[in-house]
A and B are shown apart, each in its own frame.
Chain A
Amino acid sequence: QKEVEQNSGPLSVPEGAIASLNCTYSDRGSQSFFWYRQYSGKSPELIMFIYSNGDKEDGRFTAQLNKASQYVSLLIRDSQPSDSATYLCAVTGRSSARQLTFGSGTQLTVLP
């Protein structure tokens, strides 16, 4: 079982719709959760982080965390073509070094 799992997609949504991206993790002691956006050929950029159960909103983005279910999601409201990218979920464990473990990413396409 992979430590961090994401549906690889591709996920296609029409412009203006809500895109929902999901991630599950295997280490129940994981503490911090991150969503990175990566455009083709570019490096990842952080768009959201969350470490408490519940929802966290930042503009059009909402991160949701459910530690009991070991599940974290990212919702993108009013999706724009510029949101088309690969979204990487990353998780830190309990070690003092707090290394990030990445999922393989979900490719999102927003259709105009």
Chain B
Amino acid sequence: DGGITQSPKYLFRKEGQNVTLSCEQNLNHDAMYWYRQDPGQGLRLIYYSQIVNDFQKGDIAEGYSVSREKKESFPLTVTSAQKNPTAFYLCASKRQGAQLAGVNEQFFGPGTRLTVL
């Protein structure tokens, strides 16, 4: 089955700890994204990567870091500098290059719910 997996499903962090959220896809997609969703809110872009070994900051990158060493993997680290990390984190991927005109569909993983204790 092709798709996007995220782990863990639930994660608890103590104050001052760094934690890493996993995102893996076997869709052969070039672009991958990390979003954060707070209750009753839409999705806000944290980081994105359009190609291996390259990534860009989104709208709310402060306190987060990413790497893209493999096409299939785009892990997100929530550092201690992120003062309010409790949220639902969603990873997405998208095929780049030749596409149906105008289509820009992103596929989402199941999400990781992070809670700070």
Chain A residues at the B interface, C-beta cutoff of 8 Å: 4, 8, 31-32, 34, 42-46, 49, 51-52, 88, 90, 92, 97-100, 102-105
Q: Complex Cα distance A7/B76, Å?
A: 31
Indicate the member of A42, A51, A98 with the most B CB atoms within 10 Å: A98
Q: Please state if A49 and B105 are interface contacts (CB–CB under 8 Å).
A: yes
Contacts of B50 in A (CB 8 A): 97
How many B residues touch A, CB cutoff 8 Å?
23
Would B42 and A98 count as touching, CB distance under 8 A? no
Residues of chain A with a CB closer than 8 A to B104's CB = 32, 34, 49, 92, 98, 100
Beyond A43-B111, A88-B42, A105-B42, whether A100 also contacts B102 by CB under 8 A is no
- Residue B64 at the chain A interface, CB threshold 8 Å: no
**CA separation between A42 and B105, bound complex, in Å?**
18
Number of A-B contacts (CB under 8 A): 56
Offer 5 A-B interface pairs, CB within 8 angstroms, sorted by A.
A8-B40, A43-B90, A43-B111, A97-B48, A100-B45
A42 B111 Cβ-Cβ under 8 A: yes
B43 engages A42 (CB within 8 Å):
no
Across the interface, name the chain A residue whose C-beta is closest to B109: A43
Residues of B within 8 A of A (CB): 35, 40-45, 48, 50, 56, 58, 90, 101-111
A92 CB contacts on chain B under 8 angstroms: 104
Let me know if B40 and A43 touch, CB within 8 A.
Answer: no
Chain A residue numbers with a CB within 8 Å of B44 are 102
In the complex, chain A residues whose CB is within 8 Å of the CB of B45 = 99-100
Report the minimal beta-carbon distance from A3 to chain B, rounded to whole angstroms: 10
Question: When chains A and B are docked, how far (Å) is the Cα of A42 from the Cα of B113?
Answer: 10
Question: Chain A nearest CB: distance from B60 CB in Å?
Answer: 13
Determine the residue in chain A with the shortest Cβ distance to B43.
A102
Residue pair B43, A46 in contact (C-beta under 8 Å):
no
Kindly list chain A residues whose C-beta atoms are within 8 Å of the C-beta of B41.
Answer: 104-105
Contact B109 A100 (CB under 8 A): no
The reply to whether A34 and B105 form a contact with Cβ atoms under 8 Å apart is yes
Name which of B43, B90, B106 has the most chain A CB atoms within 10 A of its CB: B43
Specify which of A45, A49, A51, A103 is in contact with B42 (CB 8 Å cutoff).
Answer: A103
